[in-house]
Amino acid sequence: MQVILIQDVNNLGGANELVTVKNGYGRNYLIPQKFAVEANPSNLKQLQEKQKQQAKKEAKLLAEINSVIAKLAEGPLKIGAKTGTSGKIFGSVTSVQIARAIKEQRGYEIDRRRITILDEVKELGTFKAKIDFGNSNETEVEFEVVAE
């Protein structure tokens, strides 16, 4: 029996996926629990329409991510830090400061949890951080730590 999954089912498949299961499992468990619907022609047509809409959303999201990546690659971000007489900064630069700098200087709000600083930043200079946008879309952004 073929069914279309409405939501993710462990060890079977994800939402909006066409799977083949035994008749009893489909009729007695998946369909009554609203985990799946029977794969008849009208439901298959709805599935194809959902997949088209999902593909359009993903293409739009990918284009937006690429524009953000291009904007971030324009040049290094400037992050101000208080320094001592020897050029070392008090504390260190964190992902929160990088996210704030991106918002102020580039106009994009990026969640701080998506930012990974590659080196420990304890002094003035130019460093790199990695931003993960999900779906294997990631970029490196340069930032320059300057004295306030």
Please give the pLDDT value at position 100.
Answer: 92
Q: What per-residue confidence (pLDDT) applies to 127?
A: 92
Residue 23, CB half-sphere, CA atoms under 13 Å: how many? 0
What is the Cα–Cα distance from 111 to 60, expressed in whole angstroms? 20
- Decide: 89 and 145 in contact? Cβ < 8 Å: yes
Q: How far apart are CA 36 and CA 45, in angstroms?
A: 15
CA distance readout (Å), 118 to 32, 35, 66, 115: 50, 43, 22, 10
Q: What is the pLDDT along the chain (148 residues), one digit of tens a residue?
A: 999 999 999 999 999 999 999 999 999 999 999 999 999 999 999 999 999 999 999 899 888 888 888 888 888 899 988 888 887 888 888 899 999 999 999 888 889 999 999 888 888 889 999 999 887 888 899 999 888 7
pLDDT score, position 47: 92
pLDDT of residue 118: 87
Q: Where are the domains of the chain?
A: 2-68, 74-147
CATH of domain 2-68: 3.40.5.10
The fold of the 74-147 domain, in CATH, is Ribosomal Protein L9; domain 2 (3.10.430)
- Tokens describing residue 137: 């879309």
pLDDT at 122: 86
